[in-house]
Amino acid sequence: MIKSRVKIVVSCLVLILFTVIISGCIDYKSYDIPNKTVEETELVAEIAKIEQEIAASELEAESAVPDIEIIEEVVLPALTEPKETDKLLIEAAADSELEVITVKENDLISLKIEVEDPDQDKVSYEFGKPLDNEGKWKTNYGDAGEYVTSVTATDGKLTTAKKIKIVVERLNVPPLIGLLKDIWVKEGETVNLQPNISDPNGDEITVAISDPLTGGIFATDHTSSGEYQIKVKASDGELESEKIFLLTVEDVNSVPILSGVADVQINEGETVKIIPQINDLDGDEINLKISEPVGDDGEWNTKYTDHGKYETTLTVSDGKEVVTKKIIITVIDVNMPPKIISIRLETG
């Protein structure tokens, strides 16, 4: 705007100067040449002064203009469509009249709706999932969480809907141990227990079984007879279940083992010694019988008239089982010189 004003002033001064010059040319005789030069010089000086004042005004105006701050362009991220579950939560938060129903896992939800219809029309209802058509829902273990659903009431012409939020709180229950029957086995058999255990909450289960079924396997032997109360425990880390059953291991008698004897061959006059080795795995008391001519003590001092063969039987009993073994004893004849017992005078 200042520049426009300067242009106008300059234009006016130029026009005045031009007029003066023309006038001087037309009537140059009426003016004195020296006076004309002074006037023109003064006019030029005045114009220069005006231009300086205008230039100073422009400089002052420009310095008064505040600096302009340059703002960098900011690119905002593109908006994304919220997920369906997020939409439900946003809608639920925005609804100040949201009804909240709180239950525990495994509870039965059964909604009772009270509706007032000014027209006294018949009203029917519709329920959103997870409710059924009757407004019921049997929750289960593992259903803990929040569910936003709706109840719709209609008189056939107009419809009213209301949102509700169902809060299912977690209810921890101990693991379930299936039926454990008493077990009966014989010595030498293997017991393999695999209990049926589950957790309604789906938690990880730790199972412990008491001795001698640690780990669920028990290989019985000849010393395992007896009755055992077996305890089975199941834990989810918070709650624990326990069951007990009876394990009976029937005694199976181990037959005594007879060894260390064989047929014997000796000379007349020598002693027969039978020393059997007897092993009973059950540790039962052993009874040993040896038939004649040896006897139960296992020794026979032969004479020079005992040559021949003899069958001797060894009988071992643990009170339940009997084991027998026969051996042949051969006594070799040994010829001995006659022995003079005495010499005496024979009288007539």
Rounded Cα–Cα distance for residues 68 and 241 (Å): 78
12-27 residue pLDDT tens: 565 666 554 545 444 4
Domain boundary among 230, 250, 270: 250
User: What value does the mean pLDDT take over residues 175-199?
Assistant: 95
Identify whether 319 is part of a domain.
Answer: yes
Query: Strands 183-186 and 240-250: what pairing?
Result: parallel
The length of the chain in residues reads 348
Q: Which residue has the higher pLDDT, 289 or 57?
A: 289
Q: What is the CATH number of the domain that holds 289?
A: 2.60.40.10
44-85 residue pLDDT tens: 666 667 767 766 666 665 555 444 444 444 444 444 555 554
Judged on CB neighbours under 10 Å (0-12, 13-18, 19+), 118 is exposed
Is residue 289 helix, strand or coil?
strand
Same domain, 53 and 114: no
The pLDDT > 70 percentage for the chain reads 73
What angle is formed at CA 311 by the lines to CA 306 and CA 317, rounded to 5 degrees?
A: 130
Q: Got the DSSP string for 240-265?
A: EEEEEEEEEEE--PPPPEEES---EE
Residue 124 pairs in a beta bridge with 154
* Contact of 293 with 300, CB cutoff 8 Å: yes
Query: Strands 159-169 and 99-104: what pairing?
Result: parallel
10 has a pLDDT exceeding 60: no
The structure tokens listed for 166 are 């169902």
Distance set, CA 313 to CA 76, 119, 204 (Å): 110, 115, 66
Same domain, 154 and 101: yes
325 has a pLDDT exceeding 80: yes
- Neighbouring CB atoms inside 10 A of 177's CB total 18
Residue 236 pLDDT class (50, 70, 90 cuts): very high
Same domain, 218 and 203: yes
Note the Cα 258 to chain centre separation in Å. 58
User: What value does the mean pLDDT take over residues 4-16?
Assistant: 56
The number of domains in the chain is 4
122 has a pLDDT exceeding 70: yes
Q: Got the DSSP string for 196-250?
A: -EE-TT----EEEE-TTSGGGEEE--TT--EEEEEEEEEE-SS-EEEEEEEEEEE
User: What value does the mean pLDDT take over residues 132-158?
Assistant: 92
| pLDDT of res. 31 | 36
Domain boundary among 169, 187, 217: 169
Q: What is the CATH number of the domain that holds 130?
A: 2.60.40.60
Identify whether 229 is part of a domain.
Answer: yes
Judged on CB neighbours under 10 Å (0-12, 13-18, 19+), 266 is middle
153-181 residue pLDDT tens: 998 889 999 999 999 999 999 999 999 99
Domain that holds residue 180: 176-250
Q: Say what the pTM is.
A: 0.52
